[in-house]
Structure 1
């Protein structure tokens, strides 16, 4: 039976059609067009681009592109932070300083590739002669990668991008940020807590900004038994670049020793 030939089931009354590996029976077997026709007839509707099976191929392509672009990346640290941080703000300067320090320690520096704190970190890394990486995401309110990115990859899907951040970095450092930064922070903490990734420090840079969150985790979340005491140790809060670097270097050394 070919792709486009319908047949009847054993009782002879229920139509059945094979569409590649998929079997369609009953009323679902009736299609106005074939797969080949929809592919080759450029005058037809474009709705097929947005179907779930096609999305799987698109997702697969994003993984392939990401893995290919980042496979030979040297040891790296991902830094998150707000896209709303303006140049000249102390947090922007903090990002530049951090990016520079990481680059001088031999780490590639990855960010979300956007403006604000991400731009500051990429800028600091590039100006220090390090490898500045940006993993962008398709958003309605951001315009491409910032100009301080040396190696950039754009993604449609957040979960593919998140995989790249975790797979190709040895630590997360979070500058003050909003929902996006919090999302990445807690996803990383969950992966470390459940041992999906190991020897992976999470540093919150800026005690004035992050202190309230750290207090809440200790005084509310831990106090009510939703996390354990050892889970609190997964989060490091600091204002000191040297301390942040030391945390990252110690974790990387432990990872090297384990491998």
Structure 2
């Protein structure tokens, strides 16, 4: 991908042709006119096309694990190294590795999988500040709409491994937890990699959400936490049984 290139679905744009807004933004924008009456039915066709494209690209993928984490993680960081090791170990265990296809933790997991001879998948998204997929993606699909992309992360994965990240990472994490809690997905291990980073969140879940009755006891054990990529892979293989979040005293 050349520097300054903007991806909009299958289209590449540069210079003055780069739009000021994204497709998702225009879909969700509540404009004051009635143009949406005429444009929204056509958007449905584009959304349908994104699902068809994703299903077609991933239908024969085989066992896979989705890996999430911040695009801001630097290549010289410990988290990046753990992401590379995780990708390698997942590939050696027979899993394809699915990420958001961007830099940082996503690139690390794709790199580990690709260098180990595994299948490295990147599901990109149209964003104003990211251009294209990282160079370690073997199968890449670019999406306009977050919800179509997020469906692919869940549908074709046997579990999630989540490295430290920001709002986007938390969004994917808690969507998966909610789907598991409501039994929309079953037997879906979710492993958090990086104990020091995740412990404050897990403490809040245990000491506040559970203590105030916002979640139930079984919900604590939907999240597994470890510092060891090898342990993360073992938890995925074992269906998430092993570590867990302790109930508050």
CA contact (8 A) 1:92 1:120 kept: yes
Alignment of 1:196-235 (within 5 A): 196-235=184-223
Match of 1:168 in 2: 156
Match of 2:93 in 1: 105
CA drift of 1:242 comes to: 2.3
CA contact (8 A) 2:190 2:240 kept: no
> Quick one: distance in 2 between partners of 1:52 and 1:86?
40
> Are residues 1:78 and 2:78 paired?
no
Match of 2:52 in 1: 64
Alignment of 1:73-152 (within 5 A): 73-152=61-140
CA drift of 1:106 comes to: 0.7
Report SS of the residue matched to 2:238.
helix
CA contact (8 A) 1:86 1:116 kept: yes
CA contact (8 A) 1:103 1:128 kept: yes
CA contact (8 A) 1:170 1:252 kept: no
CA drift of 1:245 comes to: 1.2
Report SS of the residue matched to 1:51.
helix
Higher-RCO chain (CA-CA 8 Å, sequence separation at least 6):
2
Equivalent residue in structure 2 for 1:246, among 221, 231, 234: 234
CA contact (8 A) 1:174 1:185 kept: yes
Report SS of the residue matched to 1:110.
strand
CA contact (8 A) 1:81 1:174 kept: yes
What per-residue deviation string (whole Å, max 9, x for no partner) do you get for residues 10-62 of structure 1? xxxxxxxxxxxxxxxxxxxxxxxxxxxxxxxxxxxxx79x8111110000000
Match of 1:42 in 2: none
Gaps of 5+ in 1: 1-46, 254-259
> Are residues 1:184 and 2:188 paired?
no
Segments ≥4 residues shifted beyond 4 Å: none
> Quick one: distance in 1 between partners of 2:233 and 2:105?
18
Greater CA radius of gyration, 1 or 2?
1
CA drift of 1:252 comes to: 8.9
CA contact (8 A) 1:83 1:115 kept: yes
> Quick one: distance in 2 between partners of 1:246 and 1:94?
15
Report SS of the residue matched to 2:74.
coil
CA drift of 1:244 comes to: 1.1
Aligned residue pairs total 207
> Quick one: distance in 1 between partners of 2:80 and 2:232?
17
Q: For residues 107 and 210 of structure 1, do their structure 2 counterparts lie closer, same or farther at Cα, with a shift above 3 Å needed? A: same
CA drift of 1:185 comes to: 0.2
CA drift of 1:243 comes to: 1.7
Report SS of the residue matched to 1:77.
strand
